[in-house]
Structure 1
Amino acid sequence: MKSNVTAFISKHQLLTTGATVLVGVSGGPDSMALLHFLRSIQKEWELRLIAISIDHKLRDMESKSDLDYVRDSCDKWDIPFVGMSLDVPAYKQDKRMGTQIAAREMRYRFFAAQMEKYGADYLALGHHGDDQVETMVMGLVRSANSSDFSGIPVKRDFATGSIIRPLLGVTKEEINAYLEAYEIIPRVDPTNNETVYTRNFFRKKAIPLLKEKNSNIHTTVQHLSETLGEDEQFLRREAKKAFKEIVELDVGGRQASFEIDVFQAQHSALQRRIFHLILNYLYDRLPKDLSYVHEEQFFALLQSDKGNVPIDFPAHLKLEKVYGKLMFYFLTQEKLHHPSYHKILEVPGRIDFPDGSTVSALYNNTYEEDHQYSYFCNIEEIALPLHIRTRSAGDRMRWSGLEGSKKVKDIFIDAKIPKKDRAAWPILTDNNGEILWLIGLKKGQPEQKKSNTSYIQIIYEKGDM
């Protein structure tokens, strides 16, 4: 095993002379073999080794005994030891997540803290070639996304340095032979033999069958993992470049949009990755029920000829096609219930809205040039008080040059206003219900610009939220 691991380290440039290496050690066969191997090359590479061991509090006294076993081994081998008990059951309950995910989060958070503390260059972990085969086969069975099919990385950036996995080039059988040769008796987790866990099922049932057809499958799969990983890194870099160029993000980070024709001009491999980059940006944590089905819905929506077509994603994320644009946004509780409002606008006075926007009214003896967010009413031609409200069924408005009136709904459609924004759109009316201003969008029957009269000026200011 030693020659194979040394060659693997050299091929992938996993170590540098004089490096500080933290070694994750559970007391099991793989991590104990890794720790012993690194100790065997410590002088040659001038390595500073520190063993890191964690009790996840998942197996009562057994996991505590594992910690003690690693400590004793490190004392015997003259390797500095750092041990920690992490309350995974409590964390799991608090965060409402599965045991394995909770344990991994806590474990890697602790690893990162120790990397920072010791200024470590590497964190070495004991994953081996059979683990890689299991991971790849599980990915094939469980995932429809090629991005999830690149396996366990040999090396990746982490904290102050990198995570390295020097044993990915050898099999479990080679590791067991190494332990036997050096008379190392590791701790064995009894749950490793229970096939109720998905990985154990593949380990006990599927992998042996594959090895019957190809005894060197770990090497084949490792090569596949590396080539797929290199391809994926390139595609992700290109996707990130395209993401920055074509995706518009709102200030609060809760919305994203892009021009559909610009998006579709990208290669399909980049389109898929841009889609996932958007989801990773919007979701704090990807929902469990988010699957390849949603990806299919996304691409079906892009191909649809219909405008204003919305689809629902988990956790109240909505995708809406709006006249050549695709929008991603979350429905807040307020938007989910589409609350209406009706407020009196005093003159002078101001109305504040939850999104931070305001509508102000003031008297003005001088008529000024109109702009998009300012409106002038001739006092002699309107019925006070003024009102600010949301739309009602059948709303219509009139303006100069229009024969009769037009539905507010059709005005929204003509202006390509997304459906999500219409329900709460502020509308200015007089006391007779006449719509004077679809604020920021359309101005109603214009005032007569008489001299020697007074006006009311309405000013709308957008919020920053």
Structure 2
Amino acid sequence: MENLAQSFFYNFRKYCSNQRVLVAVSTGVDSMVLLDLLSGLPESVRPVIEVAYVDHKLRQESQAETSFIRNFCKKRHIKLHCREWETEIHPNVGIESAARTFRYKFFADIMEKTGIKTLLTAHHADDQAETFLMKLVRGGNIQQLQGIRVTRRFADGYLVRLLLNYSKDEIREYARKRDLIYFEDATNRSNDYLRNRVRHLLVPKMKDENSKFLEHVQSYEHQLSLLLCATEEQVDNYLVEMQINETAFSVDFWLSLSKSWRTLVIRKLLEKYSRKLNEDSLNQIESFLGNSQKPQGSIKIGMHEFLIKKYNLFYFDNKYQIKDEIQNKYRLKLDTWVFLNEKEEIGVFFNKKPEILATDQVFYFSDSQLLPLTIRHRNQGDRIHTKVGTQKLKKILIDDKIPQDIRAKIWIVVTTENLVLWLPSVKRSDLSESPVNDKMQYMIIFRNKV
């Protein structure tokens, strides 16, 4: 008993620096031992203790337990925060989970109101082993196998478990020697719940096989946490390097990683965007991103969510919101500017009128038979005359690796016969001329107002 109290003292000094603590108490042996150990700390380090207790209204004994903790705290001048979980709000299913949610919400509320930064709970080594085995049985990703940690962020402070290194037997022995009063929850003897079945049927057999079973679970948990922390750090570094802008990521960088890192990186990226997918879906995404035969496309990852790839870029979006701009057509009148949008305008003029800006793109031609001209977006089957014959605009845009949504927004200058003269920034037809000073020429000026 002295060894337990002494090691508890060192644990407290290691993990608790606050002068006030909130202790979650159920009146069971674990929490009553925790209260006793805290009360027995040397006065120089002993914190101001406040107790949080919930009457879950699930058992007839809860009334006696509530009365006991009230008297216990009153006698010792400990401030008690007590709340009842009224039966009318009990759910029909998942009552254990709902009760836990209610409890921890209550704890967080107290911490917010009082300014207490440390919540202490009485989880112990057997709880750790039970949780580990339950997660193995239920399945999931390896991160979930990390068991109960000694300390973690909670509310505006920390949740600390100072008994995590002690077994249930050690805690009971301490209570017996200290002659502590506590209550046994009768439901803990039932095998109706998975945790109870693990506690009664599996853990004892594991201890029979090896008396150091609880220590081994804690060791594995510690090793696993170290490995996962190191992996997370490297994955985060890769994500930073892979990100090109606020929303897009580099396919080439992702492909440069080993197969194992690719999987970890894409899984973390999906988790970052709150998208949880099964292994089959993750494999499909990896195959999609690694498919060099399909440089563009999308894959559905949710009801309205898509991962979209455009050559070396990929990003997440709601595909139903990706719409082509309206297929507007504008007739180009001589010596008149046509406003296309806030950033672009175009006009047809005689050469040397108006002044050409450094950022302007200009197409020169001398054949007046080409007039009048129209500017529009691309249509299916559009072709352009080049010195090597006609070419489909679609092929030109693919060869230039222009993404599909950008293709839909590209402007095209055509004649009344739909002869394509020019794709500003992309391609000129063979009717394009060089500017000649002594020749009457027309010029199409495409102005990007940056």
TM-score, shorter chain, exceeding 0.5: yes
- State the one-letter code of the partner of 1:20: R
1:230 aligned partner: 226
Residue-pair matches, total = 434
Q: Kindly report which structure 2 residues correspond to 1:264-283, keeping only aligned pairs within 5 A, or say none.
A: 264-266=255-257, 270-283=261-274
Q: Is 1:209 paired with 2:213?
A: no
Question: How many Å separate the matches in 2 of 1:376 and 1:88?
Answer: 80
Structure 2 stretches lacking a partner, 5+ long = none
Q: Is 1:341 paired with 2:326?
A: yes
Structure 1 residues 151 and 248, CA gap change in structure 2 (3 angstroms): farther
- Note if contact 1:397-1:407 (Cα within 8 Å) is conserved in structure 2: yes
User: Aligned Cα RMSD in Å?
Assistant: 4.5
* Aligned residues with identical type, % of pairs: 24
Instruction: For residue 23 of structure 1, give the secondary structure of its aligned residue in structure 2.
Output: strand
Structure 1 stretches lacking a partner, 5+ long = none
Q: Kindly report which structure 2 residues correspond to 1:150-299, keeping only aligned pairs within 5 A, or say none.
A: 150-158=146-154, 160-179=156-175, 181-186=178-183, 188=185, 190=187, 193=190, 195=192, 197-250=193-246, 255-260=247-252, 262-266=253-257, 270-283=261-274, 286-287=275-276, 290-299=277-286
Q: Which of 371, 375, 396 lines up with 2:382 in the alignment?
A: 396
C-alpha deviations, 1:411-433, integer Å up to 9, x for none?
343233445x3685444454654
C-alpha deviations, 1:253-308, integer Å up to 9, x for none?
xx341243x3355566654443333123222xx44xx2233343344445545333
Question: How many Å separate the matches in 2 of 1:58 and 1:440?
Answer: 73
1:387 aligned partner: 376
1:51 aligned partner: 51
Post-superposition shift, 1:24? 2.7
Post-superposition shift, 1:47? 1.0
- Note if contact 2:361-2:445 (Cα within 8 Å) is conserved in structure 1: no
Question: How many Å separate the matches in 2 of 1:230 and 1:452?
Answer: 73
Question: How many Å separate the matches in 2 of 1:244 and 1:265?
Answer: 14
C-alpha deviations, 1:218-246, integer Å up to 9, x for none?
22101111122122222222322232223
1:149 aligned partner: 145
Q: Is 1:40 paired with 2:40?
A: yes
Post-superposition shift, 1:369? 6.1
C-alpha deviations, 1:36-56, integer Å up to 9, x for none?
33233263522122223456x
Question: How many Å separate the matches in 1 of 2:304 and 2:237?
Answer: 28
**Normalised by the size of structure 1, how large is the TM-score?**
0.73
Post-superposition shift, 1:84? 5.1
Structure 1 residues 70 and 301, CA gap change in structure 2 (3 angstroms): farther
Question: How many Å separate the matches in 2 of 1:9 and 1:441?
Answer: 74
Q: Which 10-residue stretch deviates more, 32-41 or 4-13?
A: 4-13
Post-superposition shift, 1:404? 0.9
Question: How many Å separate the matches in 1 of 2:10 and 2:344?
Answer: 68
- Note if contact 2:22-2:116 (Cα within 8 Å) is conserved in structure 1: yes
- State the one-letter code of the partner of 2:283: E
Question: How many Å separate the matches in 1 of 2:36 and 2:120?
Answer: 12
Q: Is 1:75 paired with 2:60?
A: no
- Note if contact 1:397-1:435 (Cα within 8 Å) is conserved in structure 2: yes
1:366 aligned partner: 354
Post-superposition shift, 1:112? 4.8
- State the one-letter code of the partner of 2:284: Q
Instruction: For residue 163 of structure 2, give the secondary structure of its aligned residue in structure 1.
Output: helix
C-alpha deviations, 1:433-455, integer Å up to 9, x for none?
45566576555666555757564
- State the one-letter code of the partner of 1:82: H
2:392 aligned partner: 406
Structure 1 residues 206 and 378, CA gap change in structure 2 (3 angstroms): farther
Q: Which 10-residue stretch deviates more, 161-170 or 424-433?
A: 424-433
